[in-house]
Amino acid sequence: MRRDPIALDIPSVPPLTRAQMTNVIERNGGDIPRTPLGWAKFYNGGTIDKYGSRLYRLNEAVVDDYVTLSYAAPGDLRAPAGTSYEYRWSIEDDRGDLNGEGFTSRLVVSSTDLIDEFIAAMPSPDNPAYFAGAAATAKANPDRYLLAWDFFCLFERSWFLFGMEEMLCEMLDNPDRVKRLLRAFTDYHKVVIDRYAEVGADGYFTSDDLAGQDDLLFSAALFRDMYLPYYEELADHCHKRGMHFWFHSDGAIDRIIPDLVAIGVDTLHPLQGPPMDLPSLAAAYGKDITFHVGIDIQYLLPTGTPEDVAAGTRRLMDICDSSEGGCLLAASNGIMPETPLENIEAFLRTALTYGAERRGL
């Protein structure tokens, strides 16, 4: 009879405390009982539909080592319920065709020629009501590490609103106009950081997918000129408010990791390997940045055996974790429905236990 993968022994362990998580992120050493997990239970919607209650019960057995905070962000074409009409990204009427377009080509704003008009009408998140849920979650978890989410930062937000091809062309044809847009987005996110700091967040997590499988989506020189100064401003703002700066980018971003280290990024997700050379990156930067490292969801999880997955998870931790900390375990992206449930269980169980074993606990 085929075994039920969620009937295997998942040890019951308490989540790490705020102090323990801080030791990991700041690579302080000391009280770190195991390698923390965060965003490890990250699934494609089809995976949730496929496994249903079995996946839910597995998730319930596996700890999360940070508590996620969220806020009421602006809508794309329509403001969220309970907010003002203007609390949306669009400055035009709903054309009714957004969901019929490809993800990288659909336009919330119809033309980059409207950038300055868009900036003048940008929504403001400076309303405590938008952060009421975050405040309640923070109050209910006084000893836990509180991670504030605010995805779609600069590049992602730009192309999601104006179109991928349109923004890549705009970056070359009208760089000053793009920088005005990035300036406005940076100011927006600084307000979000301030409001999250007021409710007690310990870290701020944002995202910009800057690369494909093999390299950056645009030149490193353009990245350094156009985006890096604003990321540095956001990292500095987080640090001034007593928060860590967490950053996500899919793809092969190894050429700009030295830049992210230099501006003070505290935690980087997901460090996809493949395509990146994790041993070399860990040797070069592991003492300077914490790797929120993701298990391979393209090859290892869907095609390996449970034993392969357990061995691959241990290898990630051997490469990236140390007695000082500097490593959290995650999925590199949404785990796909072709992934056997046995492999998901093997990843989560190994991620939960092996860090303690390496520490002799």
Of the chain, the end-to-end C-alpha distance in Å amounts to 35
Residue that is last in its domain, among 247, 267, 287: 267
Does residue 146 lie within any of the structural domains?
yes
Residue 267 sits at φ, ψ, to 5 deg, of: -140, 130
Q: Give residue 162's pLDDT band: very low, low, confident or very high (50, 70, 90).
A: very high
pTM over 0.75: yes
Structure tokens belonging to residue 356: 């303690």
Going by pLDDT thresholds of 50, 70 and 90, the confidence category of residue 166 is very high
pLDDT band of residue 1 (cuts 50, 70, 90) is: very low
Q: How many CB atoms lie within 10 A of CB 167?
A: 22
Please tell me whether residues 179 and 279 are part of one structural domain: no
What CATH number has the domain bearing residue 170?
Answer: 3.20.20.210
DSSP conformational letter for 298: T
Q: Domain check: are 108 and 237 in the same one? A: yes
Q: Select from 207, 239, 267 the last residue of a domain.
A: 267
Tens digit of each residue's pLDDT (9 = 90 or more) over 103-161: 666 789 999 999 999 999 999 999 999 999 999 999 999 999 999 999 999 999 999 99
Looking up tokens 């390496």 gives 358
Both 285 and 216 in one domain: the answer is: no
How many Å apart are CA 153 and CA 158, to the nearest integer?
8
Asked, for residue 75, whether it belongs to a domain, the answer is no
List the structure tokens of 202.
């310990």
How many structural domains compose the chain?
2
Same-domain check for residues 95 and 206: yes
Please state, in angstroms and rounded to a whole number, the distance separating the CA atoms of residues 79 and 153. Answer: 19
Domain span at residue 107 reads: 86-267
Residues near 184 by Cβ (< 8 Å), separated by ≥ 6? 119, 122
Q: Name the domain boundary from 210, 240, 267.
A: 267
Which residues are bridge partners to 290 per DSSP? 267
* In contact, 350 and 316? CB cutoff 8 Å: no
Instruction: Verify that 325 and 358 share a domain, yes or no.
Output: yes
State pLDDT tens for residues 223-265.
999 999 999 999 999 999 999 999 999 999 999 999 999 999 9
Q: pLDDT tier at 4 (50, 70, 90 boundaries)?
A: low
Is residue 74, in this structure, part of any structural domain at all? Answer: no
Q: Has residue 100 got a pLDDT over 70?
A: no
Residues 124 and 186 grouped into a single domain: yes
The reply to whether 192 and 204 lie within a common domain is yes
Contact predicate 182/225, CB 8 Å:
no
